[in-house]
Amino acid sequence: METHNVEKDILDNQQLIWDLQLNLDLVLNENTQLAKKIDLESLIPFINFIQKSERIFIIATGRSGFAMRSTAMRLMHLGLVVYFVGETTTPAIQKGDLLISASGSGTTATIVRVAEKAILAGAEVVALTTNLSSSLAKLANHVVLIPAAEKEDHGGAKSKQYAGSLFEQFLLLLMDAVFQSLWKLDETPAEELWKRHANLE
């Protein structure tokens, strides 16, 4: 009986390893395919907005929020003045500032309201979304379309992953690519960027 259980455990573990490899391949392949669908020209105005803005404000919620917090950190490393909306020390947005808003559906109420307030204050708004006809996209000065599945798209046509996983993953990858391009334009050595890295850790 004990031998049978050990053999079963080995088979179960082997199956789990196969599943993990298949799922890792799925995640990587979906992101690779999505990267081929991005209109790279749409990123040029986005980069121009970042370069010309006095301060940058970022808004996203949930898992997208975690991805965009990573972006905020990288932009800070470039020496830009960056705030994540909702943090206690985030000041008032004003003319000359940029709001980068990320929402898969483009209908997240909090994000739409923040975009409306930013526009009223005279700031520019860039939207990262899957939905060009959404409220957020219609408000924005510029839209970067990420043609991934929305959270409630359960059909599996655009992604076999759960909910908005592909959008959230690709958001991190895309914004890292934007950072890399900004860094190349900036030409600041990595050693100088590192001096801005958090040292209260």
In contact, 179 and 200? CB cutoff 8 Å: no
pLDDT at 77 over 60: yes
Question: What's the chain's average pLDDT?
Answer: 93
The span from the CA of 14 to the CA of 185, in Å, is: 47
Classify 129 as helix, strand or coil.
Answer: strand
**Phi then psi for 97, rounded to 5 degrees?**
-95, 165
The span from the CA of 40 to the CA of 60, in Å, is: 22
pLDDT at 101 over 70: yes
Choosing from 116, 124, 168, 192, the catalytic residue is 168
pLDDT at 10 over 90: no
125-144 per-position pLDDT tens digit? 999 999 999 999 999 999 99
pLDDT at 1 over 60: no
Of the listed ranges 8-22, 93-107, 146-160, 162-176, the least confidently predicted one is: 146-160
pLDDT at 181 over 80: yes
Orientation angle between helical segments 165-186 and 2-37, nearest 10 degrees: 50
pLDDT for 59 equals 98
Q: How confident is the model at residue 156 (pLDDT cuts 50, 70, 90)?
A: low
Q: What is the mean pLDDT of residues 168-174?
A: 97
In contact, 82 and 56? CB cutoff 8 Å: yes
The span from the CA of 68 to the CA of 165, in Å, is: 14
Classify 57 as helix, strand or coil.
Answer: strand
User: How far is CA 68 from each of CA 29, 85, 96, 113, 128, rounded to the nearest angstrom?
Assistant: 22, 11, 21, 18, 11
pLDDT for 153 equals 63
pLDDT for 2 equals 59
Whether residue 168 lies in the annotated active site: yes
Identify the burial level of 43 via C-beta atoms within 10 angstroms of its C-beta, where 0-12 means exposed, 13-18 middle and 19 or more buried.
middle
pLDDT at 49 over 90: yes
**Extended strands (E) in the chain:** 56-59, 82-84, 98-102, 124-129, 142-145
